Amino acid sequence: MEDSSTRDRIRALVREVLDKAVPAEEAGGGGQTAPPSTPGRFIDIAPTSTTSADSNVTRDESSKVVITEADVRGLEPGAVLRIAEGARLTPLAADIIKEKKIELVRRVPRRGSQTSRMIAVGADHGGFKMKEELKGFLGEAGHRVRDFGTNSEDAVDYPDFAHPVARAVADGTVDVGIIIDGAGVGSAITANKVPGVRAAACYSVAVARNSREHNDANVLTLGSKTITSREMREIVDAWLATDISEDRHRKRVSKIEAIERQYQR
């Protein structure tokens, strides 16, 4: 206990010296300012334990540009943490990662609709026809599709198809998911029960762009009875072409993730 207390005091002293030596506005490099509520000193290179593996991930923090002490404090020794390709570590976060031998997996983002993605799709009977059209549209755009059904217009229950799509997104076996039912709401509610999923029911191009840029939505749900085929194509195209870009939005998404973790056991 005494050794731990001494180590914490030394770390605090080192951080204090570093903060005084490097102005906060210079910490991000390249003229960028550091995000609010984070220390003014960052470590750009991940520890040597970083690998390119993308399985058995304990926690996904790949929506964040800065990994802080709060993001790693609760992880067990030997845990696997997924972070963004360009994410930086605060000094204390780096210390904890090294001490607990936490493995870092850097996730390389795929940006823009021109980049081929693996997309999970699913629908109930009400969304079946539009799903089939969607698959053709995605294929023409160069994307790969994993279809979770349904495969006819016979009556089925939307949770049975929204859940596996959401699970595939959360597991990282696909990049994003698109689910279609009559209104798009039931599938969104179902998908959002899966930890790590941020599903958005979108009924316009503007909402689709907002859900990605502001909320980093990774699942799109559509209502076949609320939009036309043309609108579906426009919404999907806009959604895939938009990425979260500003730190202020990332910070808010991080708060959503922190709330989610409070209810995970």
Bridge partners, 80 (sequence order): 103
Q: Strand, helix or coil at 29? A: coil
Q: CB under 8 Å to 189, separation ≥6 — which residues? A: none
Catalytic residue among 125, 163, 214, 249: 214
Active site residue 125: no
**DSSP code of 25?**
G
Residues 220 and 179: beta-carbon distance below 8 Å: yes
For 179, the 3-state DSSP assignment is strand
| CB neighbours of residue 73 within 10 Å | 11
The answer to whether 75 and 49 have CB atoms below 8 angstroms apart is no
Which residues are designated catalytic?
Answer: 214
